[in-house]
A = this chain, B = another copy of it.
Amino acid sequence: MAMVCLSDFEAYAKKYLPKIAWDYFAAGADDCTTRDENILAYKRIPFRPRMLRDVSVMDIRTKILGSEISFPVGIAPTGFHQLAWPDGEKSTAKAARAMDTCYIASTYSTCTLEEISTAAPGGLRWFQLYIHRNREASRQLVQRAEALGFRGLVLTADLPYTGKRRDDVRNGFRLPPHMKVKNLERAFEVCKLSPLDPSVTWNDIYWLRSLTSLPIIIKGILTREDAELAVRHGVQGIIVSNHGGRQLDEGPATIDALVEVVEAVRGRVEVYVDGGIRKGSDVLKALALGAKCVFIGRPALWGLAYKGEEGLQDVLRILQDEFRLSMALAGCASVSEIGQHLVQFSRL
């Protein structure tokens, strides 16, 4: 089976992963409408490709929060990578470093932050945080991450409670006994994800600020109002996200929400987006609409499921090649040439 595009990896993962793991990764909330809209919304945005521009030398590198990456695609935070591949997040970290991009490690990793750091020293990594009822546990996590060289703190804002994913309910999903949410082992038992704190508010960003000098990126913003609040509370970046359609179903597709967030932010902080990226040309559209970088969630897991570190590199390399080709065919030789003129705005 030739692995030509990301859906080849999806088909592989669906075929070879245990059903309960596949279902967990694939799950969307309720009717999975938002999960699927994330993908469909990209298709509704037509390009306006330009011709006869010198694209013989292509430069697809970019910077996020000052760190250079090989192309504007990073790894979004997702939990439980050992469900996809035995070495779990250690493989993810190695692949991200090999491809010279950013990996956002999840609180719900099945490897410790220390294991992740040791597996790929020097890689660009951010740490994703859920704030727990036990604030001391969260404080320790943040400070461990900073000490280990993580270079950004990603606060997930859209999970005061876990969304209703019907298949997980039917399957009675929980981690197999030999896997642990290791980062939290010392603090408490979290297999049921229960100790998240639903009372978190914008003021808690000030509390986070007091704990760390890392840049704070807020993840899960979908409206101009919340984008404005995020900027006012001093974050350094915003990830437009609907948690892969796993939280509130029937909210906006992320690429649609990106437009309004970018407009509200007016360049004051960097804006990223995740959800629905399946081709290099999706990356190009996201950048044309103002994203500084995109993050992939499920496709990274499919890559892991295929061949661990190597499989994830394959996924990233395909996206990289497709992104470079899309740029060239649209008439852009470097990321700095990408702009809103590349897409048909009136159809949004």
Contact = CB atoms under 8 A, between A and B. Distances in A.
Interface of A: 2, 4-5, 30-31, 33, 42-43, 45-56, 157-158, 160-161, 163-164, 166, 169-170, 197-202, 204, 218, 220-223, 225-226, 229, 247-252, 279, 281, 285, 321-322, 325-326, 328-330, 344
B160 A55 contact: yes
A45 B251 CA distance: 9
- A interface SS class: loop
A47 to B, nearest CB: 4
B56 A197 contact: yes
A198 B248 contact: no
A321 to B, nearest CB: 8
Contacts of A221: 51
Given A4-B170, A161-B328, A251 B33 contact: no
Contacts of A161: 55, 325, 328-329
Contacts of A49: 158, 222-223, 247-248, 251
A329 B247 contact: yes
A249 B281 contact: yes
Contacts of A201: 52-54
